[in-house]
Amino acid sequence: MIKRLIVGFVGIFLTFFLAGCGGDESSVKEFNKPALYWYQKIAKSISSGHMDKADAYYISLKSEHMRSPMLPDAIIMLAHAHMSKEEYLLANFYLDEYNKRFGAGSNREYIEFLKVKASFLGIKDVYKDQKLIEDTIMHAKIFVNRYPGSAYQPLIHTILVRLYMTQYLLNENIAALYERTGKDAAAKIYREKNKDSVIQQSDITPPEKRIIGAVFD
């Protein structure tokens, strides 16, 4: 229940945030335009790197043309653009928007893959993002079970392995820290967590790059 409230709050916040970006020509000087006009504005803003304008133009497209066939493509375009800018929270906002409006279509598998990818790449600090790591593992496992024949399965499995490795190394680091400070009971708790891990120390080769993100380099 709390998680749903948090997600809902984030969605509402981002909606108002995107609308608030509309203090430019899209929301003040321009309105009542064809869907193609807004779509082209979105594409042009993305190509020039003006993501705040692209977001504002999306609000105009969505508000004036809720049933436009251009809306799904615009949403995906914006999700990709925000992912390329490493703005993964906004990318996931658009992917959720797509699923909410068009999730029953054949693209749902691809959207669910993008959501896992965006969450994975959004992990920046393994100590601060432990909940995000756990959630990403959960969603990746759901994807594996839901789409067993998916072309994205190899990438999803690679993501899972990377996340399991991250969890294992994180637990080891925390246990070692507790041991150095004489807190053996706390260290034992984290050692026990790794006993049930699908990844073990012998499976891990020290990465040349950081574990998170290397999958898509």
pLDDT 10s digits, 201-216: 656 665 554 555 554 4
Same domain? For 35 and 13 the reply is: yes
Which stretch of DSSP H or E encloses residue 115?
Answer: helix 108-121
Query: Which of 105, 135, 168 is the C-terminal boundary of a domain?
Result: 105
Same domain? For 71 and 113 the reply is: no
Res 7 pLDDT > 50: no
Averaged pLDDT for residues 168-194? 90
By C-alpha distance, which of 58, 47, 149 is closest to 101? 58
Please give the structure tokens belonging to residue 164.
């399991």
Q: What is the pLDDT of residue 203?
A: 60
Return the higher-pLDDT residue of 158 and 203.
158
Domain extent at residue 132: 108-217
Same domain? For 47 and 116 the reply is: no
Please give the structure tokens belonging to residue 204.
């891990």
pLDDT 10s digits, 96-143: 999 998 877 678 899 999 999 999 999 999 889 999 999 999 999 999
Same domain? For 123 and 81 the reply is: no
Number of domains in the chain: 2
CA separation (Å) from 194 to 42, 166, 191? 47, 11, 5
pLDDT 10s digits, 55-103: 999 999 999 999 999 999 999 999 999 999 999 999 999 999 999 988 7
Q: Are 22 and 63 in contact (CB under 8 A)?
A: no
Same domain? For 3 and 94 the reply is: yes
Same domain? For 8 and 63 the reply is: yes
Task: Quote the pTM value.
Answer: 0.75
Same domain? For 119 and 193 the reply is: yes
Same domain? For 115 and 208 the reply is: yes
In a 3-state reduction of DSSP, which class is residue 80? helix
Provide the CB-side half-sphere exposure for 189 (13 A, CA).
Answer: 6
Least confident stretch, 2-11, 76-85, 187-196: 2-11
Same domain? For 57 and 92 the reply is: yes
In a 3-state reduction of DSSP, which class is residue 122? coil
Q: Are 194 and 171 in contact (CB under 8 A)?
A: yes
Same domain? For 127 and 89 the reply is: no
